[in-house]
Structure 1
């Protein structure tokens, strides 16, 4: 079961770093953009250190389209939590419907 679950775990951790790298600074608009870029690059390094092995390991059990779909679904879930709990911008009904439509697309990617 590890080859199926390990990539999902690594992609989840990777997305935590990625989402933080992209959006943490929205609460700190006074920080100079050059500083924001440097900090975000540092966070992105760890994101890549997790995403690359996740895809390498995951490619043993998932086709590339499924790996990308897993990553996108995880991204939406992580972003929804980050937006709500860190940025204080909760997910609205429209966001939920949009995410549900993306999830419907994911269903067809995994459908035999």
Structure 2
């Protein structure tokens, strides 16, 4: 019984972290154009692509992780979901550092 509680708690925590990444990305989609317009600028096509990519990536990776973890016990499934979350975080950091912020505004 304790193993199930721990597994469900860990799963809920991982899903909450995925939800946080999606909510943060949606916040960027909503607030970045407002910030750009307050500076007299707009968002470029590349900027919209990266904003949409930030929203879609966590959703797609979670779906893929759940598909890969399907039919496995709780431990391996949680590891696959956690690895997907690590992948999302690494890709988001790479985008943050490799894509110049000036390419968002035009």
Higher-Rg member (1/2): 2
TM norm structure 1: 0.40
TM-score w.r.t. length of structure 2: 0.42
